Amino acid sequence: MFMEQLSNGIALGSIYALTAIGFTMVYGIIRLINFAHGDIYMIGAFLTLTGITLLNMHLVMAFLFGMAGAALFGILIAKLAYSPIFKAPRINIFLSAIGTAIFLENFAMLIWGPETQAFPDVIQNNVYTFLGFRASTLQLVILGTTILLVTVLTYVVQYTKIGRAMRCTSQDMDAARLMGINTNRVVYITFALGSSLGAAAGALVGMYYKAVFPMMGFVPGLKAFIAAVIGGIGSIPGAMLGGIIMGVSESLGAAYISSGYRDAIAFIILIAIILIKPSGLLGKAVKEKV
Amino acid sequence: MVNLFIVIKNLTIYTLILFLSIKLLSKGFDYTAKKLSRANKHTKAAALFISAIAIFAWPFLFADYPYILRTSIIVLLYIVLALSLNFVLGFAGQLSMGHAAFYAVGAYTTALLTVNLKVSFWLAFAASAVIAGLFGLLLGIPTLRLKGDYLAITTIGFGEILRLVLINWTSFTRGPAGIPGIPSPKLFGLTINSNTGYFYLILALAVFTVFISYRLLNSRLGRGLIAVRDDEIAAEAMGINSTYLKILAFVLGAVIAGMAGSFFSTFVHYVNPDNFNYMESVVILTMVVLGGVGSIPGVILGAAVLSILPEALRDIATYRYAIYGILLVMMMIIRPQGMIGKSSFKGGVRHENTKSKKNHKSLWRAVGS
């Protein structure tokens, strides 16, 4: 029982981690809580499903199709909803993000219908036992995909030119612009990268629970934020760590406390973290300047 | 795929209509506000008097149209709710997104007390206000440490936790099935069960809320709150106890939302956790933002428009929330200060420039750097 819940929690946690990384990247660059991120996750799941069922794509192709489509959505959102009010106070961008989230949920409802759609069995699911640790094929696929994507992301952020530009922009956007970095381009690329990671998480969740529906992104979007806050918002390894902590504690909590309060556990962790260490586990505390 | 094109076509049309109406309405409101601010005292008093009589005679004018009367009751209910959020968002500058939770606390307190313990409505009404206020205090405490985005997410979390408790604590709240059979209030031996009676009840609550809003705005406490909103550090340096004031705003907002919840439960005779979900909080928030954060006439107008809009959009009900989303984004881009912003009444209309930073300054500070 414990081992089962643990592997379940790690699979869930890696999905949260993927979502949280996209979240934290966008926050790191423009200090915006991208409320629409959870809905990008939903769009990714729907696009992958459409790729498999309607367009008869291979699983990997459909997965990439979902990620690319969601990246496009991310850029469009940044362009239409955020960039016109980029310089406005943050409450305005925040409300614009909420508006975008509501719009995307209902847009998906209009196109794909409000009912839950079944995700076809695309992977043969076997259960493996190793030293008392039980894991299913799907869980291993989720973990493997997450590790692969995070490795690629780390490479992009640490070793490429655009990655360096992203790190500069997140430290100080104005200074980065003075150094000749095209910060607009950096923002769009960040949105594209973050959205495609979110979409990957959505597609994996769709496969794992075999269900895709328009409201599926709302709670994971909030949980991704919580995971990012736990790890220290703006920090990519922090988001990874936060995601895993959230996934495991949620699985164990649902198993040993009460499954009805599954979603409440995340918020309780959030409130505890914010009250005890607001900068997060791996974050830096920033003093407010007058 | 055909579906996709139809949806996109319809959405484009609605977006265009929305864009034009926002532009036109904002011009209209600016013009009216300018005229009003220049009108003399007597004209203002006369206008106020006429509208007061019109509102008071409203149930008699529409006595034969229960649909209109019911819609007006809902409009007034949302005016109360939006004004109660305005205490927190408009006066104290704290972005609270779990306002439906206080509404839920009020509704459930009344429901549980009147159905299970057979307490009279008026007592339950008072208890709802007190208990919602206690919850406001509970939520007010974390706001001491949180700002802006963090506060918003924490309040969402609070709302969700409360909703989950309402769903899961079946022995106490009957879970998702809800509580039916909430009795109508009795006043001097008369049972208020007609739409007219409910209209006057909620009208009284709305007038009370508007009165409190104006009194607070012009009082020492209100000035202190506005100072905290504009710049907390400077306000503290001036000797204002910002902690106390912020909690006060939360408690006040919660108490009034609890009263509204109490009214709601006796009006529809049934409560259920789905009435108080996250969307409800967002709808209330949208009303405040659409009307103009901190501006009392604006908030009233925003609440009225957004509670009539769903009725008007009944024919395109599937597009309703999609339009809501677009509306929120467009408002933020086109007219971030709301339909009737605070500046509209201060003679600043002529020099108004929505793109300048001046208009945003107060909110900018409010939500933190």
Q: Which of B231, B230, B224, B232 is nearest to B249 (CA)?
A: B224
Domains in chain B, ordered, with CATH?
Answer: 70-319 (1.10.3470)
pLDDT 10s digits, B236-245: 888 888 888 8
Q: From B94, which residue of chain A is nearest by alpha-carbon distance?
A: A91
Within 10 A of B49 (CB to CB), how many other CB atoms are there? 10
Please count the helices (runs of H) and the strands (runs of E) in chain B: 15, 4
**Contact criterion met (CB below 8 Å) for A145 and A205:** no
Instruction: Please give the share of chain B, as a percent, with pLDDT higher than 90.
Output: 13
CATH code given to domain A2-276: 1.10.3470
A274·B146 Cβ contact <8 A: yes
What residues of A are in contact with residue B2 (Cβ under 8 Å)? none
User: Most distant CA pair in chain A: distance in Å?
Assistant: 59
Residue B362 has what pLDDT? 44
Beta strands in chain B (DSSP E): 179-180, 186-187, 190-191, 270-271
pLDDT confidence band for B80 (50 / 70 / 90): very high
Percent of chain B at pLDDT > 70 equals 90
pLDDT recorded at residue B355: 45
Question: Do A278 and B150 count as a contact with CB atoms less than 8 A apart?
Answer: yes
Count the alpha carbons within 13 Å of A26 in the hemisphere toward its beta carbon: 31
Distance from CA of B4 to the nearest CA of A (A): 6
Interval B84-90 mean pLDDT:
89
Left, alpha or beta for A18 (phi > 0: left; psi -120 to 50: alpha)?
Answer: alpha
Measured in residues, chain B has a length of: 369
Closest CA to A73 of A199, A186, A159: A199
Question: Looking at beta carbons, which residues of chain B come within 8 Å of A90?
Answer: 148-149, 364, 367-368
In chain A, residues with a C-beta closer than 8 Å to the C-beta of B146 are 274, 278
- Residue-by-residue DSSP string for B138-201: HHHTGGGT--HHHHHHHHHHHHHHHHHHHHH-HHHH-GGG-EE-PPPPEETTEE--SHHHHHHH
pLDDT (mean) for B344-364: 44
A3 has a pLDDT exceeding 60:
yes
Is the pLDDT at B314 greater than 80? The verdict is: no
Query: CA of A24: how far to CAs of A27, A91, A204, B238, in Å?
Result: 5, 18, 20, 37
The answer to whether residues B22 and B323 touch, using CB atoms and an 8 Å cutoff, is: no
Average confidence (pLDDT) over B338-364: 50
- pLDDT top residue among B348 and A30: A30
Amino acid B369: pLDDT: 37
Query: Looking at the whole model, is its pTM more than 0.95?
Result: no
What's the pLDDT score for residue A69?
Answer: 92
* CA distance, residue B319 to nearest chain A CA (Å): 7
Measure in Å the smallest separation between the Cα of B96 and chain A Cα atoms: 11
CA distances from A282 to A22, A232, B11, B50, B310 (A): 17, 5, 43, 62, 45
Hey, how many other C-beta atoms are within 10 angstroms of the C-beta on A99? 26
Q: What is the pLDDT of residues A217-276, one digit of tens each?
A: 888 888 888 888 888 877 888 888 889 988 888 888 888 877 777 778 888 888 788 777
Check pLDDT > 90 for residue B365.
no
| Sign for the pseudo-dihedral over CA of B207, B209, B210, B214 | positive
Q: How far apart are CA A102 and CA B323, in angstroms?
A: 9
- Nearest one of B18, B284, B17, B12 to A110, comparing CA atoms: B12
Q: Which residue of A has its CA nearest to B322?
A: A103
Q: Tell me the count of A-B CB pairs closer than 8 A.
A: 143
Q: Please state, in angstroms and rounded to a whole number, the distance separating the CA atoms of residues A169 and B85.
A: 36
Q: What confidence category does residue B134 fall into, taking pLDDT thresholds of 50, 70 and 90?
A: very high
With a threshold of 0.90, tell me whether the complex ipTM lies above it: no
- Within 8 A by CB and 6+ apart from A158, the residues are none
- Residue B82: pLDDT band (50, 70, 90) is very high
Residues in chain B closer than 8 A to A95 (CB atoms): 285, 289, 328, 332
Mean pLDDT across B198-212:
89
Q: Touching check for A257 and chain B: CB below 8 Å?
A: no
Q: Which two tokens stand for residue B326?
A: 């677009």
- Give the integer Cα–Cα distance in Å for A260 and A262: 6
Best mutation site among B18, B149, B160 for testing chain A: the one with the most A CBs within 10 Å?
B149
The residue whose two tokens read 């739409």 is: B195
- Encode pLDDT of B30-39 as tens digits: 888 777 777 7
CA B216 to chain centre: 17
pLDDT interval class at B42 (50, 70, 90)? confident
A71 with B345: CB under 8 angstroms?
no
Judge contact between A213 and A2, C-beta under 8 A. Answer: no
User: Residue A1 pLDDT > 80, yes or no?
Assistant: no
The helix-helix angle for B121-140 and B99-116 (nearest 10°) equals 150
Q: Which residue has the tokens 């103009």?
A: B292
Residues A239, A192, A153: CA angle, nearest 5 degrees: 45
What's the distance, CA A25 to chain centroid? 10
Burial (CB count <10 Å: 0-12, 13-18, 19+), residue B45:
exposed
- The per-residue pLDDT for A288 is 56
Interface contact A260-B164, CB threshold 8 A: yes
